[in-house]
Amino acid sequence: MEELGWILLEALIKALVIFTLILLAAATLVYIERKFSAFIQNRIGPNRAGPKGLLQPFADVLKLFMKEDIVPDAANKNLHRLAPIISLGVAIAVYAVIPLGSSFELAGRTIYMGVAPNVNIGILFILAMTSVGVYGITLAGWSSNNKYSLLGGLRSSAQMISYELSMGLAIMGVIMVSGSLNLNDIVIHQSGWKWNVLLQPLGFIIFLVSAFAETNRTPFDLPEAEPELVGGYNTEYTGMKFGMFFLAEYGNMATSSALIATLYLGGWQLPFNPEWVGLQEGSVWLALAQFASIVIKILLLSCFFIWVRWTVPRFRYDQLMNLGWRVLLPLALLNVIATGAVMFLI
């Protein structure tokens, strides 16, 4: 029973640390996005709250907390309330299986970095969770009882399910290379510069494009295309409920970056042999260095997401469907067969 208590304590501490990190990541990303876009468009960006506007995201959150919650009379109130919870909950849930470093010893216990990185169906868990993510946006669109919201929600769900296929098939290549569904195994398999991006370049590109579509980021942001749909699925959301969708968007960006880093860019692996700088296997310092390594990878990938958003124009809906079904899906299927054939021949 005492062992159980320790496990529970460890899990709770990890959960709290990860929530704090996700919130911090979202705040940082919002700030980076605003500064970055200002730089690209030759503006100054937020510069009033705190030095260089650094406190802007916190001011935004405070403001969202204080804002009145307006729910239209025609809306389905319960589902309207449920939708943002599903959206954000799913974005957070994926972190349960992402490994954030190898293990270290503390007080006679082996502690893994990450909530449960050794779940042996980790990838399946992630696929399952992302497939459920559709509900948040669809329900938000439907329950608002607003034409813009419904159109946004429908578009978004059709888009998400279309790109989920290519995403799943791209992951298949990674599974074939490493022969495991366990995310920690996949990261360990990439040690010594055997990063999957080098073994699976086509799969990497397919996954990257699908990740953009899954997170509804430009060039795939049709669900919230401002010129035609006002705000898309979140038109009728105000205050903290809107804040939840906003947080979910940035949380999803961080999640996708973490997934790309884990599956293709070596996860928590350091880009050099840790013994060169005197870091011992199983030490706390090595674990921290690995953690820093994946956090830097996530931040760089998120910056890439932001860079693309402010550079590339939006797709038309028929182009989007064409890309998903006629280009990425056949390519992803061929990638699976080609990977298999090459692995047998070598």
74 to 113, contacts with another protein by CB under 8 A?
74-76, 78-79, 81-82, 84-85, 88-89, 92-93, 95-97
Cβ pair 260, 170 in contact under 8 A: no
- Does position 65 interact with another protein (CB under 8 A)? The reply is yes
Cis-peptide into 271, omega within 30 deg: no
Angle at 342 between CA 337 and CA 343, to 5 degrees: 100
- Does position 131 interact with another protein (CB under 8 A)? The reply is yes
Residue selected from 118, 191, 304, 314 as contacting another protein according to rule CB under 8 A: 118
Cα separation, 16 vs 11, whole angstroms: 9
DSSP class per residue in 126-147: HHHHHHHTHHHHHHHHHHTT-H
- CB-nearer residue toward another protein: 128 or 284: 128
Q: Is the dihedral of CA 295, 96, 217, 326 positive or negative?
A: positive
Cα separation, 186 vs 265, whole angstroms: 11
Q: Which stretch binds another protein (CB under 8 A): 26-34, 52-60, 151-159, 198-206?
A: 151-159
Nearest distance, CB of residue 199 and another protein, angstroms: 14
| Site for another protein, residues 217 to 246, rule: CB under 8 A | 230, 235-236, 239-241, 243-244
- Does position 216 interact with another protein (CB under 8 A)? The reply is no
Residue selected from 67, 111, 205, 307 as contacting another protein according to rule CB under 8 A: 67
Q: Is 272 exposed, middle or buried (0-12, 13-18, 19+ CB in 10 A)?
A: exposed
Q: Which stretch binds another protein (CB under 8 A): 36-44, 123-131, 213-221, 265-273?
A: 123-131
- CB-nearer residue toward another protein: 23 or 55: 23
Q: Which stretch binds another protein (CB under 8 A): 48-56, 99-107, 179-187, 278-286?
A: 179-187
Residue selected from 111, 154, 188, 299 as contacting another protein according to rule CB under 8 A: 154
| Site for another protein, residues 263 to 322, rule: CB under 8 A | 316-318, 321-322
- CB-nearer residue toward another protein: 261 or 320: 320
Residue selected from 56, 102, 103, 146 as contacting another protein according to rule CB under 8 A: 146
- CB-nearer residue toward another protein: 182 or 257: 182
- Does position 7 interact with another protein (CB under 8 A)? The reply is yes
- Of 214, 221, 241, 244, whose CA–CA distance to 89 is shortest? 244
- Does position 21 interact with another protein (CB under 8 A)? The reply is no
Nearest distance, CB of residue 329 and another protein, angstroms: 7
Residues 6+ apart with CB under 8 A from 174: 123, 186, 196, 200, 203, 263, 264
- Does position 336 interact with another protein (CB under 8 A)? The reply is yes
DSSP class per residue in 161-223: HHHHHHHHHHHHHHHHHHT-S-HHHHHHHTTTT--HHHH-HHHHHHHHHHHHHHTT-TTS-GG
- Does position 179 interact with another protein (CB under 8 A)? The reply is yes
Cβ pair 215, 177 in contact under 8 A: no
Tokens of 336: 């699976």
Helix 122-132 crosses helix 147-178 at what angle (to 10 degrees)?
170
- Does position 340 interact with another protein (CB under 8 A)? The reply is yes
Tokens of 337: 């067969």
